[in-house]
Amino acid sequence: MIKAGIGTACVSGLILSPLVAGAELADERERPPNILYAISDDQSWIHAGAYGFEEARTLEERPEERPFFFWYGAREPHPGTIRANLGSGVAAGFDLEAIEVPPFLPDVPEVRSHIADYLRMIEVFDENLGAMLAMLEEAGELDNTIVIVTSDHGMGFPRAKANLYEYGVRVPLAVRWGAEVPAGRVVDDLIDLIDITATIYDATGVGKPEEYPISGRTMLGLLRSGKEGIVEPERDAVYLGRERHTSARHDNLGYPIRAIRTQEYLYIHNFYPDRWPAGAPQALRDDGSFYPRSHGGNAFADIGDSPTKTFLVENSDHEKYREYFLLAVGRRPAEELYDIRNDPGCLNNLAGHPEYADIRLDLAKRLETHLEEFGDPRIVGPDPEIFETYLRYGGIRRYPPPEREPEEWSRKIAP
Ligand SMILES: [Ca+2]
């Protein structure tokens, strides 16, 4: 933390901005802005080692002549932390009756309470951020600090996080920069988080690095514009992808997907419809026998353990809840198309509807063209499977090859 004692968040410490620390700043130029990058559900494994809590410089020790960069990576909304704080939503006074349950989850008390816990954890993130902003204000740095608030994915729930559906990829984004960015506006442009790097380069005025290109587009224009709604119509699509999440399938395979999201539609291409999108149903013990059929971390492992996951698995045969279980873990077709404005829950796949054929083909082409332009190995090679070859440094689970999977799962989870 900027100063010890705020929250339990994992934070990275106050450091010299890697951007500006290495840059040759003209003496006469005004000091570039500081950056406070606040991201929820970022476990900061990488940063915790490099810029641990203990080593964090305090705000008082900041160098006067250089701006700082501070990465606040909050753990609270992560499934593991929610697990450690079950019931915190109700305890904090959340009214379960007022909770909005997304349409792809069963509306039951267990899920409502889990969502309340998630919301409570987001509140903790907000409280910590509020304390940081107060400290910046007290130090006279607030208006010369670009504050960027976002999340590294959507809610850590089944069919959300680790999927390319709307609830998995849509994240909050709020930016503050004193008088530089007119406040109190809502901008509807499609922004990709890769745009943040370009924005920081632009705002700090240090120029782009020559040694490697920067993907993404600066947001500075729309931030400074003072306008609301759609400010830069040329931002007409964002592109999304996933490969491996956890160790969740035979041979540690991932579940490759690419997608394009426009203002109206989400088009998804699943490369391997025969694989389990949320992970295989049952893992193997060291002796080759199956673990018991259960929700435990060994089943559908791309979904973090949680009350909602437990409910879905334990009610997978229940007439009323089976469809939610299948939405979370069932196999999916190669192509999916959703009308995001009318179906943000991504329940009604339009890919097979003749009246949407033109839209589907157009989006598929745009996606392919974009991936070719960006040199995605999945599309252009030379090794389309290269993502599967990367070592996993976390725990590896063992799953049977498809032909050895228990038959009951194939019956239960329709292809
Ligand atoms: Ca995360």
* The two structure tokens encoding residue 175: 């930016």
* CA atoms of 156 and 115, how far apart (whole Å): 10
pLDDT (tens digit per residue) in 156-183: 999 999 999 999 999 999 999 999 999 9
Question: How confident is the model over 391-399, as a mean pLDDT?
Answer: 90
Q: What are phi and psi of 376, to 5 degrees?
A: -65, 120
Whole-number Å distance, alpha carbon 303 to ligand 1 midpoint, is 12
356 Cα to the center of ligand 1, angstroms: 34
> Which residue is associated with the tokens 């993502």?
387
- How far is the C-alpha of 413 from the C-alpha of 375, rounded, in Å? 35
What was the pLDDT predicted at 49?
36
pLDDT at 279: 95
Q: What residues contact 239, with CB distance under 8 A and at least 6 apart? A: 192, 258, 259, 260, 261, 367, 370, 371, 374
| Cβ contact 240:261 at 8 Å | yes
Q: Which residues surround ligand 1, an ion (CB under 5 A)?
A: 41, 152
Angle at 73 between CA 306 and CA 394, to 5 degrees: 55
**Cα pseudo-dihedral 79, 85, 86, 89, rounded to 10:** -100
Q: How far is Cα 16 from Cα 35, in angstroms, rounded to an integer?
A: 10
Dist. CA 156 → ligand 1 center (Å): 8
How many CB atoms are closer than 10 A to CB 99?
18
Question: In angstroms, what is the span from residue 151 Cα to ligand 1's centroid?
Answer: 8
**260 backbone dihedrals φ, ψ, rounded to 5°:** -125, 135
- Letter string b/e over residues 35-55, b meaning 16 or more CB atoms within 10 A of that residue's CB: bbbbbbbbebeebbeebeeee
Tell how far the Cα of 355 is from the centroid of ligand 1, in angstroms. 37
DSSP-derived secondary structure letter, 378: H
Q: Is the pLDDT of residue 87 over 60?
A: yes
State the virtual CA torsion across 193, 136, 117, 298 in degrees, nearest 10. Answer: 50
Crossing angle for the helix pair 322-329 and 307-314, nearest 10 degrees?
120
| pLDDT averaged over every residue in the chain | 86
The residue with greater pLDDT, 6 or 307, is 307
Residue 320's pLDDT band (cuts 50, 70, 90): very high
Instruction: List Cα–Cα distances, 147 to 50, 176, 203, in angstroms.
Output: 22, 5, 12
Ligand 1 centroid to 133 CA: how many Å? 23
**Domains identified in the chain and CATH numbers:** 10-180 (3.40.720.10), 238-412 (no CATH)
pLDDT in tens, 19-29: 444 444 444 44
Which amino acid does the sequence have at 108? V
Across 109-113, 124-128, 155-159, 261-265, least confident range: 124-128
Distance 41 CA to ligand 1 centre (A): 4
Our CA dihedral for 392, 122, 176, 209, rounded to 10 degrees, sits at 0
* Residue listed under structure tokens 């380069």: 201
Confidence grade of residue 300 (pLDDT, cut at 50, 70, 90): very high
More confident residue, 14 or 224: 224
Q: Give distance in angstroms: CA of 39 to centre of ligand 1.
A: 9
In 3D space, the residue among 72, 75, 77, 73 whose CA is nearest the CA of residue 2 turns out to be 72
For residues 32-52, give the mean pLDDT. 66
Place of tokens 């157009």: 362
Alpha-carbon span 103 to 144, nearest angstrom: 42
Q: Residue 120 corresponds to which amino acid?
A: R
Distance from residue 23's CA to the centre of ligand 1 (Å): 31
Range of lowest pLDDT (6-15, 240-249, 258-267)? 6-15
Where do the H-state alpha helices sit in 139-252?
166-169, 194-204, 220-225
Confidence of residue 103 (pLDDT cuts 50, 70, 90): very high
Place of tokens 């054929």: 357
